[in-house]
Amino acid sequence: MTGVVELPSGVRVRGRRMRDVPDTPADFLVALVAGPLPAWPHRRIVWPDFWVPRDRADAIDALNEALTKAHDGAFVEVACMGGRGRTGTALAALAVLDGMPADQAVAWVRQAYDPKAVEMPWQARWVRSLKTERARPHE
């Protein structure tokens, strides 16, 4: 399936452009863009294009919620307008929250998802700053 990456723990998450409505809807969407939302369960992070989330705590909480749902068997996806900058940054952040060293996450998402993921230097810095965050336990 296009856009699907496997996180360090083995759970799979899909990244995509918001306008590309998938053939198989996710169980949970993390929306990184304003506008209409799908009928399936979702959570929006206020995240301006080419930037980082406006509210760090809210973003980390939403990503942890998505990660917990993925560990519980839900099919989770992350989507922004173009499917690269914010989506790539969120996928890299999910990898860090799932146990990947923060200094490896940007290179990993560019290899596993899209070579142009995490478009801006401050997005890469934001991912590296997550090394101090702790993921919620997965049970």
Decide if pLDDT at 21 tops 90. no
Q: Domain span at residue 74? A: 4-129
> By the 8 A CB rule, do 126 and 52 touch?
yes
135 in any annotated domain: no
137: in domain: no
Number of domains in the chain: 1
- Domain membership of residue 138 (yes or no) is no
**139 in a structural domain:** no
Instruction: Please give the Cα distance from 85 to 76 (Å, whole number).
Output: 18
Four-residue CA torsion sign, 112, 3, 102, 66: negative
- Predicted local confidence at residue 76, as pLDDT: 97
Q: Under 8 Å CB-to-CB from 123, ≥6 apart: which residues? A: 50, 51, 52, 85, 86, 88, 89
Contact 84, 109 (CB under 8 A): no
The model's confidence at residue 29, banded by pLDDT at 50, 70 and 90, is very high
- Rounded Cα distance between 55 and 114, Å, is 25
Whichever domain contains 49, its CATH number is 3.90.190.10
Q: Is residue 15 part of a domain?
A: yes
99 domain residue, yes or no:
yes
pTM beyond cutoff 0.85: yes
**Considering the domain boundaries, does residue 134 fall inside one?**
no
Q: Is residue 21 part of a domain?
A: yes
